[in-house]
Amino acid sequence: MYNTRMKKKVATLLAIAIWLIPTGCKAQAEVSETLESVVETSVETQPSASIVATESIVPGDDYSSYPLNTTDDCWAVLNAYAADHGIDALSYPTTLINVLFSNHDTLDFVLHYPELVGTQDDPSYPGSIDVSSEYSPLRVPYYYQFDSRWGYKTYAGSEMGFTGGGPTCLAMVATFLTGNTDFNPAWMAAYSENNGFAMDGGTSWNLMATGAGGLGIDVVAITADQDRVDRNLAVGNVIVCLMGPGDFTSGSAQFIIICNKTENGYEIRDPGSITRTNQEWQFETLASQMDGCWVMRIL
């Protein structure tokens, strides 16, 4: 066991050494076509030559227990997983270090990237996804764009894990309002692309403004009026919001859903973050970052 671990450490350090060789809300008429993305930081991704995080990592299956406090930590975890599974560590694009560092929820998506990227692009692939167990008429489902069931599907010039916030958001809304579990995120991504709503690097806001109507959903653009939001939530409608830079993205935009009001704040669904989804938010915080709002309902 000791020799095996030492060999893996040596292999990891060698891979690193090789790698280091140069290598609130606006009126609808004012909302411009905006892209969204899960990539949320511009921190330096190149590990330092003095990386030591691998010394505290014991190869195993529970990679969620590894530290992710620095970009060096993130690189060390990828190297450990690669060594454990016979993967060339250099097959991880360096941008994945940024993704993992800025959003620890993407760990599973990032670890399996070399194995699964490009495997979900068959036109029939969405038909193999069963989300029926996740449907309830009482709550909006929890879908995330980096879910391994669809996160590696090519969408808007990249993989859904990076660019699929729009279709994942609308998939949650459509599943909840219509009860149709065929509206999974992979299906919705294909719908978006086939109808011209996908753009290079993300999704046009028109997927919400007009695309939802093609699924039998009534859509009304509103401003960030708290009373109006509350009244819609009270009757079972949901609010889709296009969020600008701030708590939800440091990029151009991210789509989220406001789905419930509680005594402590507002419950949301953020397709780019489990952590943010599990928080309750104050309306002032949400409203200050909104670039577009749509009430979605079934008449």
**pLDDT, tens digit, for every residue of 151-187?**
999 999 999 999 999 999 999 999 999 999 999 999 9
Task: Write down the pLDDT at residue 282.
Answer: 98
Of the candidates 33, 37, 32, the one whose C-alpha atom is nearest the C-alpha of residue 201 is: 37
Q: Answer with the residue of higher pLDDT: 299 or 115.
A: 115
Task: Write down the pLDDT at residue 123.
Answer: 79
**pLDDT, tens digit, for every residue of 83-102?**
999 999 999 999 999 999 99
Task: Write down the pLDDT at residue 251.
Answer: 80
Q: Answer with the residue of higher pLDDT: 62 or 85.
A: 85
Task: Write down the pLDDT at residue 274.
Answer: 98
Confidence of residue 61 (pLDDT cuts 50, 70, 90): low
How large is the average pLDDT for residues 124-143?
Answer: 92
The angle formed by the CA atoms of residues 273, 109 and 52, to the nearest 5 degrees, is: 100
Distance CA 205, CA 90 (A): 36
Rg, Å, the chain Cα set: 20
Minimum mean pLDDT range among 18-22, 140-144, 209-213, 224-228: 18-22
Residue 53, judged by CB atoms within 10 A of its CB (0-12, 13-18, 19+), counts as buried
DSSP element (H, E) containing 257 = strand 254-262
How large is the average pLDDT for residues 115-119?
Answer: 94
| 25, pLDDT greater than 70 | no
Residue whose token pair is 């419950």: 267
How large is the average pLDDT for residues 93-121?
Answer: 95
The full length of the chain comes to: 299
Distance CA 267, CA 261 (A): 6
Q: Answer with the residue of higher pLDDT: 280 or 34.
A: 280
| 11, pLDDT greater than 60 | no
